[in-house]
Copies of this chain bind each other. A is one copy, B any other.
Protein backbone atom coordinates (compact mmCIF):
# COMPACT_ATOMS: atom_id res chain seq x y z
CA UNK A 1 0.00 0.00 0.00
CA UNK A 2 1.36 3.41 -0.84
CA UNK A 3 1.71 6.37 1.49
CA UNK A 4 0.12 9.22 -0.45
CA UNK A 5 1.76 12.62 -0.39
CA UNK A 6 0.48 15.87 -1.88
CA UNK A 7 2.76 18.86 -2.44
CA UNK A 8 1.39 22.41 -2.35
CA UNK A 9 3.41 24.93 -4.34
CA UNK A 10 3.35 28.52 -5.55
CA UNK A 11 6.59 28.91 -7.47
CA UNK A 12 9.77 27.23 -8.55
CA UNK A 13 9.23 24.03 -6.61
CA UNK A 14 12.81 23.02 -5.94
CA UNK A 15 11.71 21.15 -2.83
CA UNK A 16 9.13 19.30 -4.93
CA UNK A 17 11.98 18.35 -7.25
CA UNK A 18 14.02 17.13 -4.29
CA UNK A 19 11.13 14.84 -3.32
CA UNK A 20 10.76 13.58 -6.91
CA UNK A 21 14.50 12.88 -7.17
CA UNK A 22 15.01 11.37 -3.70
CA UNK A 23 16.37 7.80 -3.85
CA UNK A 24 15.17 7.39 -0.26
CA UNK A 25 11.58 8.21 -1.28
CA UNK A 26 11.84 6.08 -4.41
CA UNK A 27 12.79 3.13 -2.23
CA UNK A 28 9.91 3.78 0.18
CA UNK A 29 6.14 3.38 0.02
CA UNK A 30 5.75 7.11 -0.65
CA UNK A 31 3.81 8.10 -3.74
CA UNK A 32 3.50 11.75 -4.70
CA UNK A 33 -0.08 11.60 -5.90
CA UNK A 34 -0.90 15.27 -6.38
CA UNK A 35 0.66 18.69 -6.84
CA UNK A 36 -1.55 21.70 -6.17
CA UNK A 37 -0.52 25.23 -7.12
CA UNK A 38 -2.34 28.46 -6.37
CA UNK A 39 -0.32 30.12 -9.15
CA UNK A 40 -1.03 28.97 -12.74
CA UNK A 41 2.44 29.95 -13.99
CA UNK A 42 4.37 28.16 -11.21
CA UNK A 43 7.34 26.25 -12.63
CA UNK A 44 6.57 23.54 -10.08
CA UNK A 45 3.66 22.51 -12.34
CA UNK A 46 6.12 21.79 -15.14
CA UNK A 47 8.19 19.70 -12.73
CA UNK A 48 5.06 17.72 -11.82
CA UNK A 49 4.17 17.17 -15.47
CA UNK A 50 7.69 15.96 -16.28
CA UNK A 51 7.43 13.46 -13.43
CA UNK A 52 3.93 12.35 -14.50
CA UNK A 53 2.39 13.59 -11.25
CA UNK A 54 -1.23 14.78 -11.52
CA UNK A 55 -1.43 18.48 -10.80
CA UNK A 56 -4.18 20.95 -10.21
CA UNK A 57 -4.31 24.74 -10.18
CA UNK A 58 -6.58 26.21 -7.52
CA UNK A 59 -6.33 29.98 -7.63
CA UNK A 60 -6.95 31.66 -4.31
CA UNK A 61 -8.35 34.67 -6.14
CA UNK A 62 -11.38 32.65 -7.13
CA UNK A 63 -12.58 32.32 -3.54
CA UNK A 64 -14.38 34.66 -1.16
CA UNK A 65 -12.35 33.65 1.88
CA UNK A 66 -9.22 31.80 2.93
CA UNK A 67 -11.46 29.14 4.40
CA UNK A 68 -13.33 28.56 1.13
CA UNK A 69 -10.00 28.29 -0.69
CA UNK A 70 -8.74 25.78 1.88
CA UNK A 71 -12.02 23.85 1.60
CA UNK A 72 -11.41 23.40 -2.14
CA UNK A 73 -7.87 22.19 -1.43
CA UNK A 74 -9.09 19.76 1.23
CA UNK A 75 -11.69 18.34 -1.22
CA UNK A 76 -8.97 17.76 -3.79
CA UNK A 77 -6.66 16.18 -1.21
CA UNK A 78 -9.34 13.88 0.15
CA UNK A 79 -10.35 12.74 -3.35
CA UNK A 80 -6.72 11.76 -3.89
CA UNK A 81 -6.66 9.89 -0.53
CA UNK A 82 -3.72 11.95 0.65
CA UNK A 83 -1.96 10.89 3.87
CA UNK A 84 0.48 13.79 4.18
CA UNK A 85 0.51 17.36 2.87
CA UNK A 86 3.85 19.04 2.15
CA UNK A 87 4.07 22.81 1.79
CA UNK A 88 6.93 23.46 -0.61
CA UNK A 89 7.11 27.17 -1.19
CA UNK A 90 3.34 27.51 -0.85
CA UNK A 91 2.82 31.23 -0.26
CA UNK A 92 -0.62 31.20 1.36
CA UNK A 93 -1.54 31.18 5.04
CA UNK A 94 -3.21 27.89 5.98
CA UNK A 95 -6.47 28.00 7.93
CA UNK A 96 -7.91 25.53 10.44
CA UNK A 97 -10.04 24.12 7.59
CA UNK A 98 -6.95 22.42 6.19
CA UNK A 99 -5.18 21.92 9.54
CA UNK A 100 -8.12 20.10 11.10
CA UNK A 101 -8.74 17.91 8.06
CA UNK A 102 -5.06 16.88 8.16
CA UNK A 103 -4.26 17.14 11.84
CA UNK A 104 -0.49 16.84 12.41
CA UNK A 105 -0.23 15.85 8.74
CA UNK A 106 0.83 19.16 7.19
CA UNK A 107 4.58 19.67 6.89
CA UNK A 108 6.51 22.83 6.04
CA UNK A 109 10.17 23.56 5.49
CA UNK A 110 11.56 26.91 6.62
CA UNK A 111 14.99 28.39 5.81
CA UNK A 112 16.03 29.24 9.38
CA UNK A 113 16.71 27.55 12.69
CA UNK A 114 13.27 28.12 14.18
CA UNK A 115 12.15 29.66 16.46
CA UNK A 116 14.69 32.21 15.18
CA UNK A 117 13.70 34.16 12.07
CA UNK A 118 10.19 32.97 11.27
CA UNK A 119 8.19 34.51 8.43
CA UNK A 120 8.92 35.55 4.89
CA UNK A 121 12.61 36.50 4.95
CA UNK A 122 14.38 34.06 7.23
CA UNK A 123 17.69 34.08 5.39
CA UNK A 124 17.84 37.85 4.98
CA UNK A 125 17.00 38.40 8.65
CA UNK A 126 19.64 35.92 9.81
CA UNK A 127 22.28 37.73 7.76
CA UNK A 128 21.15 41.13 9.01
CA UNK A 129 21.30 39.92 12.61
CA UNK A 130 24.81 38.63 12.15
CA UNK A 131 24.38 35.02 13.27
CA UNK A 132 27.30 32.63 12.71
CA UNK A 133 25.10 29.58 12.18
CA UNK A 134 21.96 29.40 10.10
CA UNK A 135 20.02 26.44 8.75
CA UNK A 136 16.61 25.05 8.02
CA UNK A 137 13.74 23.49 9.91
CA UNK A 138 11.15 20.92 8.83
CA UNK A 139 8.12 21.25 11.05
CA UNK A 140 4.46 20.45 11.37
CA UNK A 141 2.24 23.38 10.56
CA UNK A 142 0.01 24.78 13.28
CA UNK A 143 -2.09 27.93 13.48
CA UNK A 144 0.94 30.18 14.03
CA UNK A 145 3.58 31.40 11.61
CA UNK A 146 6.36 28.77 11.60
CA UNK A 147 5.59 27.83 15.21
CA UNK A 148 4.62 24.16 14.88
CA UNK A 149 6.38 21.08 16.29
CA UNK A 150 9.88 20.62 14.89
CA UNK A 151 10.67 17.39 13.05
CA UNK A 152 14.22 18.06 11.91
CA UNK A 153 16.78 20.84 11.72
CA UNK A 154 20.04 21.17 9.86
CA UNK A 155 22.80 23.71 10.43
CA UNK A 156 24.77 25.76 7.89
CA UNK A 157 27.73 27.93 8.84
CA UNK A 158 27.48 31.57 7.79
CA UNK A 159 30.59 32.73 5.92
CA UNK A 160 31.97 36.26 6.06
CA UNK A 161 31.51 36.62 2.33
CA UNK A 162 27.91 35.35 2.27
CA UNK A 163 25.13 37.36 0.71
CA UNK A 164 21.48 36.33 0.81
CA UNK A 165 21.76 34.30 -2.40
CA UNK A 166 24.85 32.33 -1.43
CA UNK A 167 23.59 31.54 2.07
CA UNK A 168 20.12 30.66 0.77
CA UNK A 169 21.67 28.27 -1.76
CA UNK A 170 23.47 26.30 0.95
CA UNK A 171 20.38 26.31 3.18
CA UNK A 172 18.19 25.07 0.32
CA UNK A 173 20.62 22.22 -0.31
CA UNK A 174 20.03 21.14 3.30
CA UNK A 175 16.26 21.48 2.84
CA UNK A 176 16.48 19.15 -0.14
CA UNK A 177 18.19 16.57 2.06
CA UNK A 178 16.02 17.02 5.16
CA UNK A 179 12.52 17.16 3.62
CA UNK A 180 12.55 13.73 1.89
CA UNK A 181 13.96 12.26 5.11
CA UNK A 182 11.07 13.71 7.12
CA UNK A 183 8.47 12.50 4.61
CA UNK A 184 9.91 8.99 4.91
CA UNK A 185 9.55 9.15 8.68
CA UNK A 186 5.81 9.68 8.22
CA UNK A 187 5.54 6.86 5.69
CA UNK A 188 7.34 4.56 8.14
CA UNK A 189 4.95 5.65 10.89
CA UNK A 190 7.83 6.82 13.04
CA UNK A 191 6.47 10.26 13.95
CA UNK A 192 4.62 10.56 17.23
CA UNK A 193 3.09 13.69 18.71
CA UNK A 194 2.85 14.35 22.40
CA UNK A 195 1.62 17.44 24.17
CA UNK A 196 3.91 18.71 26.90
CA UNK A 197 2.66 21.67 28.93
CA UNK A 198 0.23 22.69 26.23
CA UNK A 199 2.75 22.50 23.41
CA UNK A 200 2.71 19.70 20.83
CA UNK A 201 6.11 18.02 20.41
CA UNK A 202 7.15 15.66 17.66
CA UNK A 203 9.32 12.63 18.32
CA UNK A 204 10.88 10.44 15.70
CA UNK A 205 11.16 6.81 16.71
CA UNK A 206 14.58 5.57 15.84
CA UNK A 207 14.99 2.75 13.42
CA UNK A 208 17.14 0.09 15.06
CA UNK A 209 19.15 -0.22 11.87
CA UNK A 210 19.96 3.46 11.89
CA UNK A 211 23.19 4.86 13.27
CA UNK A 212 22.75 7.42 16.05
CA UNK A 213 23.22 11.02 14.98
Contact = CB atoms under 8 A, between A and B. Distances in A.
Interface of A: 113-117, 128-133, 135, 149-155, 157, 160, 196-197, 199, 201-204, 206, 213
A132 B150 contact: yes
A108 to B, nearest CB: 15
B135 A133 contact: yes
B213 A130 contact: no
A153 B164 CA distance: 19
Top 4 A-B residue pairs of the complex, sorted by shortest distance between their CB atoms: A132-B153, A116-B116, A130-B201, A133-B153
Given A130-B201, A135-B133, A155-B155, A113 B115 contact: no
A213 B116 CA distance: 23
Nearest to A112: B116
How many monomers of this chain does the complex have? 2
9 contacts: A113-B133, A115-B129, A116-B116, A130-B199, A130-B202, A132-B153, A133-B135, A160-B204, A160-B206
Given A130-B149, A133-B153, 18 more contacts: A113-B116, A113-B131, A113-B133, A114-B131, A115-B116, A115-B117, A115-B131, A116-B116, A128-B196, A129-B150, A129-B199, A130-B202, A131-B150, A132-B153, A133-B135, A133-B155, A157-B213, A160-B206
A144 to B, nearest CB: 12
Contacts of A203: 160
B132 A199 contact: no
A116 B114 CA distance: 8
Nearest to A152: B132
A24 B160 CA distance: 23
